[in-house]
Structure 1
């Protein structure tokens, strides 16, 4: 009888226990001395992790540095409903540019993995200097890419010196990102913090991003993005767009940025669209923003053309509507603190400014606002906003959800 009971427990519970695995990259041959290429060991560890069936965890241990010499794919789908990677040690890319093709896109590439959690206190160093000096450097890979990874959690990690973007999020739903640091030199090209594309239901909170480009870029096909308690600087601020390049129809909606800091940034809160594009950017709010010597604190640019090679005013434009800027306090490094440069063909509507106090970071200097082709409601805002408004702009009442920010 006793043997039957033991057999029952083995058959019914043993398999589950055996698959509730805690894996370690060291057990798959990783060395972690910062010189040996651990790419193959990480690949083997991922294969085992993805094949496990009961909430497995892969540990990248502390006090070690793992060199990954080139792109690595962490591809799913995996068997378990949740996958956990705990990064406690350091991961580094080679210091020299060993990738010669333009089809890499990313260095640590996660795709088609549902229920993924990547967290820990470790650092990931992309050694991007070899890429920054290339002209052009469009082929520079993102340090970490998440594609089609629903129910994603990304917490605690520090990313340094990314060749291109630090983090790319593409075609993902239900994403929670918090307490991460993304750091690259102020003059490093195209080192965006987080690039978001075709994704929905993202929460980004309690992070520090100091980069050479946008701290966060929200691109076409994205919606329901909530960003709170972000410290950004250096960098180019938080951008919606650019949208509509080469005549594309692109959309972004339901974006909320709250209780964040722009410190020494090239821009603050920015919406940028190309001439000749289509689609919309709507239901967007920036609330409770602290400015410290930030250039262009508030900017809408429907004539975005960074290389000055664009066509003259076209007959189409991305429609911008229902945008709120509220509770901006602090200093501007540029004379123009508020710039609303909208299209005469498809003007901006439903732009609301309230309870903003922006002064010059240079004592004794004044700041001003510039506004063209927008319907603006402005209240208790310095500098004051007076807009040159075409007669055919209709009033659209903002539909934005009330913010939790308190004055």
Structure 2
């Protein structure tokens, strides 16, 4: 407590001294005015993209721009910066700096407009850590250097969780930003012998083994994540679970195309999310949307190589899954196994509804448009009598080229519960190389074409299934 009082007093003194230019130099705690945000922090989803969507970003220059931290609490207080090196962090890439980060977190979290700073020109090694709130309004975690976990499972402390690395728990109104890099050191995790891994000639081994997700936000609200480079995660790069009010923008996320289970951004049980102006290249879903998500807006995102933008998988182990009001627009997907996908397990319950895919450019994508209600990781999965109900899905202005190994449009809906109200408009998909494949595939899928589709699609059923009234209540 005495240490905390001392830090608070130092902040007050530094704020006073900051008005005298002759006394500014040489201080560890630096004060600088943050950019203000005119919107209400309680609803970050209402923010429009930082710049208007245009041509897909150039993947050769993925460095995010202008990650100046903003104040999600619209606080008028001067920020008080807590540099982790002032708390004993060495930043040489080999010394364990976890204790210093925990101490700096506690101090910065306790003051209004506190800034936890990991400065540039340092590489900070941190072990698996949970950073808990609540924090005072206007809290910013600014990474200008490099943060990384131990290198591989052999160096991972046995006492630490091997399922997660950096966890933010019950943190409301926080901004996670900076010009630095979160380096996941995932290479040795990807090669675990029991990990599903693409080997020579398409071979793979069973799994999965435990591997840590790199960054996780859990039960938090009114979050801003911007400007960072996140790369080479052992597993998911960034997860949001049980959160509400999340703004993600200007991120660069990357890992090799064959790195297993390295989803870029994964959300579940999370509402009111905006993902804007970001570039993601990885070995699994670029963005994955799990059960319990609603009101998600994705715009001006470039994906690839990847497994595309996915809703699901949903309904595993006969569980209920409810997903609604998801919009993906002005996206660019290249060299990916899938484009825009909805995937559910047989035997699930719940519904997927109010989904809009609008103005999406494809380049050499396999399975450009896909609904798969027979998702399964083994050949032994059985057809079941219940399924997640998929309805009100719109595909508009989807254009580009596809990999001819699979039909570019694939609607495989459950025998028991049909997909309904699928709408296609201005869909034009041409082979990247070779000849046009056979007609698109449909099974128990009902919908309409508002314009002619390339390739032509004649397998959609008109109207609604006779049994829809009997199965319309799916508990969502």
Q: TM-score when scaled to structure 1? A: 0.89
Partner of 2:130: 73
**Does the Cα contact within 8 Å between 1:337 and 1:367 map onto a contact in 2?**
no
User: 1: distance between equivalents of 2:160 and 2:285?
Assistant: 22
**Alignment partner, residue 383 of structure 1:** 455
Q: Which residue of 2 aligns with 1:27?
A: 86
Check if 1:64 corresponds to 2:122.
Answer: yes
- 2:257 is matched with 186
- Whether the 8 Å CA contact 1:82–1:114 is kept in 2: the answer is no
Aligned to 2:399: 329
| Larger strand percent | 1
Q: Secondary structure at the match of 2:103?
A: helix
Shift of 1:395: 11
CA distance in 2 between counterparts of 1:82 and 1:95 reads 33
Q: How much does 1:283 deviate?
A: 0.4
Match of 1:289, SS?
strand
Offset at residue 64 of structure 1 (A): 1.1
Contact 1:32-1:67 at 8 Å conserved across structures: yes
Q: Provide the residue aligned with 1:7 in structure 2.
A: none
Q: Structure 2 vs 1, CA of residues 295 and 101 (structure 1 numbering), >3 Å: closer, same or farther?
A: farther
**1:370 — aligned with what?**
441
Structure 2 CA distance for aligned equivalents of residues 87 and 187 of structure 1: 28
The 1:395–1:152 alpha-carbon spacing in structure 2 relative to 1, beyond 3 Å, is farther
Which residue is equivalent to 2:409? Answer: 338
Superimposed CA distance per residue, residues 222-243 of structure 1 (whole angstroms, 9 cap, x where no aligned partner)? 0000000110001100110110
For residues 243 and 320 of structure 1, the distance between their equivalents in structure 2, rounded to whole angstroms, comes to 11
Separation of aligned partners in 1, 2:94 and 2:14: 38
* SS of match in other structure, 1:381: coil
Residue 86 of structure 1 pairs with residue 142 of structure 2 = yes
Residue 363 (structure 1) shift: 4.1
What is the distance in 1 between the residues matched to 2:463 and 2:241?
40
Over 3 Å counting, the alpha-carbon distance change for 1:30 and 1:233 in structure 2 is same
2:164 corresponds in structure 1 to: 106
Report the secondary structure of 1:304's partner residue.
coil
Unaligned 5+ segments in structure 1 are: 1-10, 397-407
Structure-1 separation of matches of 2:317 and 2:462: 26
With over 3 angstroms needed to count, the CA separation of the structure-2 counterparts of 1:339 and 1:151, relative to structure 1, is same
Q: Unaligned stretches of 5+ in structure 2?
A: 1-8, 17-77, 195-206, 469-476
- Report the count of equivalent residues: 381
Secondary structure in structure 1 of the residue aligned to 2:415? coil
Deviation, 1:73, is 1.1
What's the C-alpha RMSD, in Å, of the aligned pairs? 2.2
Change (3 A) 1:223 1:296: same
Q: What is aligned with 1:46?
A: 105
Partner of 1:318: 388
Matched, 1:36 2:95: yes
Change over 3 Å in CA distance of 1:138–1:152 after alignment to 2: farther
Aligned in 2, Cα 1:395/1:307: closer, same or farther, shift over 3 Å?
closer
Return the structure number with greater relative CO, CA threshold 8 A, min gap 6: 2
CA gap 1:229/1:390 in 2 versus in 1, 3 angstroms: closer
Query: In the alignment, is the contact (CA less than 8 A) between 1:218 and 1:240 conserved in 2?
Result: yes
TM-score, scaled relative to structure 2 = 0.76
Shift of 1:306: 2.3
Structure 1 contact 121–157 (Cα < 8 Å) conserved? yes
Structure 2 distance, partners of 1:275, 1:388, is 21
